[in-house]
Amino acid sequence: MNKISVLLLIVIGILSCSEASDIVKYEPVTLALEIPSNFPDIVYNLDNNPLTEAGFELGKDLFYEGKLSSNNAIACAFCHEQAFAFTHHGHNLSHGVNGGVGFRNAQPIQNLAFQTSYMWDGAASHLDLQPIIPLTSDIEMGETFSNVVTKLQAEPYYQEKFTRAFEDGEVNTENMLKALSQFMVMMISSNSKYDKYVRNEDNVTLTELELNGLNTFQNKCATCHATDLFSDQSFRNNGLSINPLLNDQGRYDILEDPNDLYKFKVPSLRNVEVTYPYMHDGRFSTLQAVLDFYDSAVVDNGNVDDVLLRADGSYGITLSDYEKESIIAFLYTLTDDQFLEDERFSEY
Q: Which residues pair with 345 in a beta bridge?
A: none
Residue closer to ligand HEC, measured from CB, 196 or 324: 324
Binders in 278-297 for ligand HEC, by CB under 6 A:
278-280, 287, 290, 294
Interface region with ligand HEC, contact rule CB under 6 A, candidates 21-29, 30-38, 113-121, 186-194: 113-121
Report the residue number, 54 or 221, with the smaller CB distance to ligand HEC: 221
DSSP string over 15-82: HHHHHHTT-------BPP-PPPTTS----S-GGGS--BHHHHHHHHHHHT-GGGSTTS---HHHHSBG
Show the DSSP H helices in 221-303 as ranges: 252-255, 287-292
Q: How far is the CB of 196 from ligand HEC (least distance, A)?
A: 21
| 266 in contact with ligand HEC (CB under 6 A) | yes
Does the footprint of ligand HEC cover residue 79 (CB under 6 A)?
Answer: yes
252 near ligand HEC, judged by CB under 6 A = no
Residue 63 CB, shortest distance to ligand HEC, in Å, is: 6
CB of 154 to ligand HEC, least distance (A): 19
Report the 10 Å Cβ neighbour count for 338.
12
Q: Which of residues 132-171 bind ligand HEC (CB under 6 A)?
A: 134-135, 140-141
Contact 216, 328 (CB under 8 A): no
Residue 55 vs 267, nearer CB to ligand HEC: 267
Task: Report how far residue 240's alpha carbon sits from residue 305's, in angstroms, rounded to the nearest whole number.
Answer: 11
Site for ligand HEC in 167-226 (CB under 6 A): 180, 220-221, 223-225
Query: Is 224 within 8 Å of 306 (Cβ atoms)?
Result: no
Shortest Cβ 25–ligand HEC spacing (Å): 27
**Closest-CA residue to 264 (of 286, 247, 248, 285):** 248
Cα within 13 Å of Cα(299), Cβ side: 6
First to last CA, the chain: 52
CA distances from 277 to 57, 88, 93 (A): 30, 9, 9
Q: Contact residues for ligand HEC (CB under 6 A)?
A: 68, 74, 76, 78-80, 94, 96, 102, 104, 106-107, 109, 112, 115, 118-120, 130-131, 134-135, 140-141, 180, 220-221, 223-225, 236, 238, 240, 264, 266-267, 269, 272, 275, 278-280, 287, 290, 294, 305, 307-308, 317, 327
